[in-house]
Amino acid sequence: MAETLASYYGDSVPGHALYAARCGSVLITTSVLTRTAWLDLACPLTFESDQLALSADGDTSREQVDAAAAVRRLTEAATHDVRIADVPLYRLTDVQVQPGTVGGKVSVVPFVEYALSVDLLERELLESLAAGRDQMPLRDRYLPDLPAVLDLQGRLCAGGVLALTAIARTADPYRGEADYLLLIQERSGHVLNAARRLAVIPKSFHAPLANHRADARIGATLRRELEEELFGRVDVDRTTGTQRAADPMHPSRLSAPMRWLTEQPGRLRMECTGFGFNLVSGNYEFASLVVIEDEEFWPRFGGDVEANWEAAGLRQYSTLDGDLISELIGDETWSNEGLFAFLQGLRRLAEIGGDRVQIPAVALCC
C-alpha cells in the first residue's frame, strides 16, 4: 500500500516525507506523510500543552459524494454488520504541532459524510492492488496530489487518535525481570477501516462525546477510548448513536481501573509522540503513548482489561523480548497508522523506560 501510494503521489512536498524507520535489518515504510518537527514530540497531554480547539467559524462545505460508491458502501456495511453511526466527527482545519505542544483547529461534520466520501479511498486502493490496475477515480477526485492532502481548508480531513499502551509490571519468577506489557490488537471485521489488521490499542476516530469544545483535546479522546476499548465501558461507545449521560466521563461514572489511575498523580502518563497524514484516506493521525507507571495496576486490575467489539484478538508483548518485538515490527498485516504509532511509542519508551526496555533501536529514515 505504501509503495503504491508513493508511486501515485510522486514528488514530495518540501519539508515532508513518508514515515520510514529501520529496526535492525528491517526497513519499514508507511503511507503516513509527516515532517521532522512532527515526530518525537514528547508532548504531555495536559491542559497546557494539549491545545487542539473547536473553531468558532462555522463550516458549511461538504464533500461531493459519489452516489454509486456510497450505495455500495452502505450495502456492504449492512451485509457484513459493519457499524456506521451518523454521529459528530471532528474535521481538522488547521494544525500547529511542535515538540512539547500540539494545537490547531477543528470543526464538526457528520460521520456519514466522511464514511461515504474520502473513507472510500481505502477500499478503492485495496481493490486496485488486488486487480493490478492503476486507475483510482475516487482518489483522483478527493486527493489527487500532495498539495490537496495538505489543504485542510479545502477538503474534509477527519482523523484518529491512537496510542501504544504500556503497563509496568514487577519482576516475576516465571516471566523474568520488571518490564512493560505492550498490548496490540487485531482489528475485527466489523470496523469501518483497518479491518482485520494489526493496530495499537486504543485506536479511535477523533470525535466529541458530549462536550464539543472540551472533547476536542487529544487527551479527552484517549481517556474515553481507554474506558471503552480496554476497561469495558459500553456506555461511551459512540457507535450506538445514543448518549443520555450529561457527563459520561464524570469521576463517579469511571470504571474501577480508570478511577484508580486518576486518583493519584504519576500513575498514568499520556503523551503525543507524533503527527502525520495517512495517505490511505487522507486522515490526520495523532500517535500517542499511554504508560501505566504504577506496578500495582496489573496485579489489581489486569483481569479487568479486555478489548471490546472492535478487536478480534488482543496480543501481549514484553519490552524485554526484543526478538519477538522485532518480528512484530516486520509483520505485513499492520495498518499504516498503527505501525506509525507503535514505532513512535517504542522510540519514546526507549528514552523513559530504563532497564524495563530492551528492544532493538528504532531509527528514523525520513
Predicted pLDDT at 252:
95
pLDDT band for position 109 (50/70/90)? very high
Predicted pLDDT at 321:
96
The per-residue pLDDT for range 116-129, each reduced to its tens digit, is 899 899 999 999 99
- Three-state DSSP string of the chain: CHHHHHHHHCCCCCCCEEEEEEECCEEEEEEEEECHHHEEEEEECCCCCEEEEECCCCCCCCCCCCHHHHHHHHHHHHHHCCCCCCCEEEEEEEEEEECCEEEEEEEEEEHHHHHCCCCHHHHHHHHHHHHCCCCCHHHHHHCCCHHHHHCCCCCCCCEEEEEEEEEEECCECCCECCEEEEEEEEECCCCCCCCCCEEECCEEECCCCCCCCHHHCHHHHHHHHHHHHCCCCHHHCHHHCCCCCCCCCCHHHCCHHHHHHHHCCCCEEEEEEEEEEECCCCEEEEEEEEEECCCCHHHHHHHHCCCCCCEEEEEEEECCCHHHHHHHHCCCCECHHHHHHHHHHHHHHHHHCHHHCCCCCEEECC
pLDDT band for position 189 (50/70/90)? confident
pLDDT band for position 80 (50/70/90)? low
Predicted pLDDT at 251:
94
Q: Is the pLDDT of residue 238 over 90?
A: no
The model carries a pTM of: 0.92
Predicted pLDDT at 11:
79
pLDDT band for position 278 (50/70/90)? very high
Rounded to the nearest integer, the mean pLDDT of the chain is 91
